[in-house]
Structure 1
Amino acid sequence: MIDKTAVSRRIALASIGAGAAGAGVSAMAQGRPPVDLGTVLNGKVLFPPPAASSEVQPSPPRNADAPTQRVGFAIVGLGKLALEQVMPAFAQAKHARPVALVSGSPDKMQAIAAQYGIAADACYSYADMAKLRDNPAVQVVYVITPNALHRQHVVAAARAGKHVLCEKPMAPSLADCHAMIEACRAAGVKLMIAYRMQYQPHAREAIRLARSGALGAVTLMDMINNQNQGDPAQWRQIKALAGGGSLPDVGLYCLNTARAVLGEEPIEVSAQIWSPPGDPRFREVEDNVTFSLRFPSGAIANCMSSYSTHRLARLTLMGSDASATMEHAFDYQGQTLRVSRLTDGKEQAGEIGIEPKNQFALELDHMAQCVRQNITPRTPGEEGAQDQRIMEAIYEAARTGQRVRLAQMPGLDRFRGPEPTAE
């Protein structure tokens, strides 16, 4: 016996499907891709906005490269940052993939290689970095070792003919920075410093607000990056490896972001440093640092870093018309950005809705695109060297108790490459 109800239901569904397909054909005939079907252009799937212009539009499809078409990275150094942040970020990257490892710990390297599907013959010791030259899958080497080792590993990667992404701080001395830049220049490879804040969406919006005039004239900036360090035996507490304490580690975020917000270079610094006596964490490196930067426009940035206070990471931009505050500013995640201004005679503060994205993935993808398109990274070696130059002035100002004048560097974004793209 035929179930007439079921037949009717199938006919109805078929009619609906035909109608939907017909609507799709009609939309395509009019030159508009159907909202839910989308269209393919240059290998990417695109959808028109499904909602009215008064609504927040969803992000476009991820449109990642095929795995075999992504730029291959060798990770040098398998410490906490590499394993807890960088390696997982490749899963959210669109243009980059891990293809090789370099470590002094064979057991750890073997375990990580197995987790990420990296071949045994693509695992190298530090002494064997020259062999990277013979691995065509490796296009970029990401150096994530202690600060004092950056120079030797960057130089080794450059001599192997590979582009280099190096963790911040670039190196413990300006001489090291210049040697790294020259090694990459001589080898004809790119050098990028991993200033993730210049790729983080909330920070990029704060920079846009400051430079666009949306806040009025920005004349004061306040930046704090504090954390409470534990074990005094970790390498960040050993000057021979770290080069310094809270300033080059967490204070550098304040320094680099202040420069990036305005695009100007400071002309004067003043500073104070204090470490609690008897604390074994600060036998070799500094704890609390406060420093002020004065810029050619007259703007002043007051910055603070600490290794012995409860975590606080905040950025505030104060303009003539409005202020912007970014909470969790220098953390790996959790950023918010609020703008306060007078509206209709009333002081109002509102959070700007910004889609969170993985900073490390954005950073990796930018480096990959720079390699593919043969363009200078937004944060090249010269950007890292300028920060080191200013940090040395900060230490000098704290030591002498005197303001230190810096050479004037006219123009905007003097040490930066082109803005990163959204691709």
Structure 2
Amino acid sequence: MNNFQPQPALPLAGDPSRRNFIAQTGRGLLAVGVAGTLGGLPAASAAAATDQASDLVLQSGPTDVTLPEINARTEPRSSGVPNPQPVDQRVGYAVVGLGHLTLEELLPALAQCKKSKLVALVSGDADKMGKVARQYGIAPQNCYSYQTYDNLKDNPAVEVIYIVLPNSMHAEYTIRGARAGKHILCEKPMANSVKECEQMIEACQKAGKKLMIAYRIQYEPMNRKVQEMVRGNAFGKTKIIEATNTQNQGPPDQWRHKKALAGGGALPDIGLYCLNTVRFLLGEEPTEVAAHQYTTPGDPRFTEVEENMLFTLRFPSGVLANCVTGYGSYTSKRYRVQAETGWIQMDPAFSYHGLRLERAHAPEGTQQREQVGIAEKNQFALEMDHFSDCVRHNQTPYTPGEEGLQDQRIMEALYQSARSGGKPVKLKSDTNKLDAFRGTPPTEHQS
């Protein structure tokens, strides 16, 4: 009689049982190793020691993993193991508003974060929120409406609220979120007026909570490399900066075309990238601004907000910035820094993906033009992880509420100039130091 008993087949790589098989096999191998070191211990003691050793391997000690290099020195270096923090150590985020930016960029970015995680959703559309919650594994009790938003105060898993709503709603939901005892990450522009910005800052300070404005460009590695070259005078002193951000808007019924919701047109939405990035590169604040705006007559998209704006910024160092933004022309998102012996260019500069950095100079009379190779990283993941770092280590974010307030002051001066037909407007400066409104710089490597 054949007493052979067939053994179960090893799970294949795609088999969902493979993970359990590996875990069980690992525990078995660990038990063998422990038994070999425990010699004549009773079986019960050996089993207990095995369980303790298994728990030690799975739960304690450093979590970073390193791998040996497998390529020759001639090959490009890999980006390395991501080494995210254990899930239970990451900062929990509630995301408010489930529009294009949230669903297409922010929620996928949270999956790439090392220090941040999605734990709650807030939306006025219960059906959509239910679908998104199922997609991302968010429990029904962690889904809130705008009416139940204040109940976030009772959810200890939520440490940060990320506000992704129409501009006019930023102030209200920041103030309510701070009163609920949560730190606030707010999309740009910060608000629709200087007064609202000041109220947001005051509310967070009163609650003892941090406020950061989501200026993703200031955390993106290529743009940070440009800042390094500009401030290091890589090609001599900067003389002129040209920046353009345009796109052709769609249907007229979207909230960005309603002044009460958006606060303005192209300037606060996409022109703000030009303004804020120039300030970020130089670290200075403009002392004078001037602007012209134009809207195509009869275009139903722009009955309430401006279509196009051209504006200039004058800085204490003598640098002039010429910026162009528009809602009615084909996409262009670029800037160029003109210095004494060369130029630095980002094209595209403000897009979510596919950024490109170039530079050109003439050290010996012959122009050398090259693309600067820096690995692309998820800008939204970088900014969220920076804020999580600030929450964990009690630091001021690099782009706090004061940074958003300063941009709002400048934009109001630009609108004042445009209404006067382009007359220059002088700006008061309370400080001459660099990065006057910024906090702790991000620690993520630039390359």
Residue 226 of structure 2 corresponds to 206
Residue 173 of structure 1 corresponds to 193
Instruction: Give yes or no for contact 2:63–2:85 (8 Å, CA) kept in 1.
Output: no
Task: Give 1:122 deviation, angstroms.
Answer: 0.6
Distance, in Å, in 2 between the alignment partners of 1:44 and 1:211 is 34
Residue 51 of structure 2 corresponds to none
Instruction: Give yes or no for contact 2:257–2:265 (8 Å, CA) kept in 1.
Output: yes
Distance, in Å, in 2 between the alignment partners of 1:180 and 1:237 is 24
Residue 418 of structure 1 corresponds to 440
One of 386, 390, 409 as aligned partner of 2:410: 390
C-alpha RMSD over aligned residues: 1.5
Residue 119 of structure 1 corresponds to 139
Residue 324 of structure 2 corresponds to 304
Question: Residues 212-251 of structure 1 correspond to what in structure 2 (within 5 A)?
Answer: 212-251=232-271
Residue 148 of structure 1 corresponds to 168
Name the CA shift for 1:216/1:52 in 2 (closer, same or farther; >3 Å). Answer: farther
Task: Give 1:91 deviation, angstroms.
Answer: 1.4
Distance, in Å, in 1 between the alignment partners of 2:175 and 2:407 is 20
Cα-to-partner distance string for 1:235-260 (whole Å, 9 max, x where unaligned): 00000100000000000000000000
Cα-to-partner distance string for 1:73-119 (whole Å, 9 max, x where unaligned): 00011111111110111111111111001111111111111100001
Give the structure-2-normalised TM-score.
Answer: 0.84
Q: Secondary structure of 1:75's partner?
A: strand
Distance, in Å, in 2 between the alignment partners of 1:202 and 1:153 is 32
Task: Give 1:54 deviation, angstroms.
Answer: 6.9
Residue 79 of structure 1 corresponds to 99
Residue identity opposite 1:128 in structure 2: T
Question: Residues 14-413 of structure 1 correspond to what in structure 2 (within 5 A)?
Answer: 42-47=62-67, 56-400=76-420, 401-408=422-429, 409-413=431-435
Task: Give 1:45 deviation, angstroms.
Answer: 2.1
Name the CA shift for 1:214/1:54 in 2 (closer, same or farther; >3 Å). Answer: farther
Name the CA shift for 1:316/1:141 in 2 (closer, same or farther; >3 Å). Answer: same
Residue identity opposite 1:415 in structure 2: F
Task: Give 1:135 deviation, angstroms.
Answer: 0.4
Task: Give 1:364 deviation, angstroms.
Answer: 1.0
Distance, in Å, in 2 between the alignment partners of 1:234 and 1:367 is 30
Name the CA shift for 1:214/1:242 in 2 (closer, same or farther; >3 Å). Answer: same
Task: Give 1:208 deviation, angstroms.
Answer: 0.8
Residue identity opposite 1:96 in structure 2: S
Residue identity opposite 2:165 in structure 1: T
Deviates more, 1:336-345 or 1:361-370: 336-345
Distance, in Å, in 2 between the alignment partners of 1:114 and 1:96 is 19
Q: Secondary structure of 1:305's partner?
A: strand
Distance, in Å, in 1 between the alignment partners of 2:275 and 2:69 is 40
Task: Give 1:49 deviation, angstroms.
Answer: 6.0
Q: Secondary structure of 1:346's partner?
A: coil
Residue identity opposite 2:383 in structure 1: E
Identity among equivalent pairs (%): 52
Task: Give 1:128 deviation, angstroms.
Answer: 1.2
Instruction: Give yes or no for contact 2:63–2:86 (8 Å, CA) kept in 1.
Output: no
Task: Give 1:419 deviation, angstroms.
Answer: 1.0
Distance, in Å, in 2 between the alignment partners of 1:353 and 1:47 is 24
Deviates more, 1:295-304 or 1:57-66: 57-66
Residue identity opposite 2:139 in structure 1: A
Deviates more, 1:182-191 or 1:361-370: 361-370
Task: Give 1:335 deviation, angstroms.
Answer: 0.5
Task: Give 1:328 deviation, angstroms.
Answer: 1.2
Count of residue pairs the alignment pairs up: 384
Q: Secondary structure of 2:108's partner?
A: helix
Distance, in Å, in 2 between the alignment partners of 1:195 and 1:181 is 16
Task: Give 1:169 deviation, angstroms.
Answer: 0.2
Q: Secondary structure of 2:285's partner?
A: coil
Distance, in Å, in 1 between the alignment partners of 2:257 and 2:70 is 53
Residue 28 of structure 1 corresponds to none
Instruction: Give yes or no for contact 2:186–2:214 (8 Å, CA) kept in 1.
Output: yes
Give 1 or 2: higher strand fraction: 1
Q: Secondary structure of 1:312's partner?
A: strand
Task: Give 1:55 deviation, angstroms.
Answer: 5.8
Cα-to-partner distance string for 1:107-155 (whole Å, 9 max, x where unaligned): 1111111100001001111121211111000000000000000001001
Larger gyration radius, structure 1 or structure 2: 2
Distance, in Å, in 1 between the alignment partners of 2:358 and 2:412 is 33
Give the structure-1-normalised TM-score.
Answer: 0.88
Residue identity opposite 1:186 in structure 2: K
Distance, in Å, in 1 between the alignment partners of 2:358 and 2:96 is 38
Residue identity opposite 2:128 in structure 1: K
Distance, in Å, in 1 between the alignment partners of 2:373 and 2:73 is 16
Distance, in Å, in 1 between the alignment partners of 2:104 and 2:71 is 38
Distance, in Å, in 1 between the alignment partners of 2:70 and 2:193 is 53
Cα-to-partner distance string for 1:253-308 (whole Å, 9 max, x where unaligned): 00000000000000000110000011001100001100000000000111010000
Residue identity opposite 2:214 in structure 1: A
Distance, in Å, in 2 between the alignment partners of 1:258 and 1:50 is 42
Residue identity opposite 1:183 in structure 2: A
Residue identity opposite 1:111 in structure 2: K
Distance, in Å, in 1 between the alignment partners of 2:205 and 2:261 is 26
Distance, in Å, in 2 between the alignment partners of 1:299 and 1:90 is 38
Distance, in Å, in 2 between the alignment partners of 1:183 and 1:128 is 20
Task: Give 1:53 deviation, angstroms.
Answer: 6.8
Distance, in Å, in 2 between the alignment partners of 1:315 and 1:421 is 25
Task: Give 1:418 deviation, angstroms.
Answer: 1.5
Distance, in Å, in 2 between the alignment partners of 1:138 and 1:41 is 26
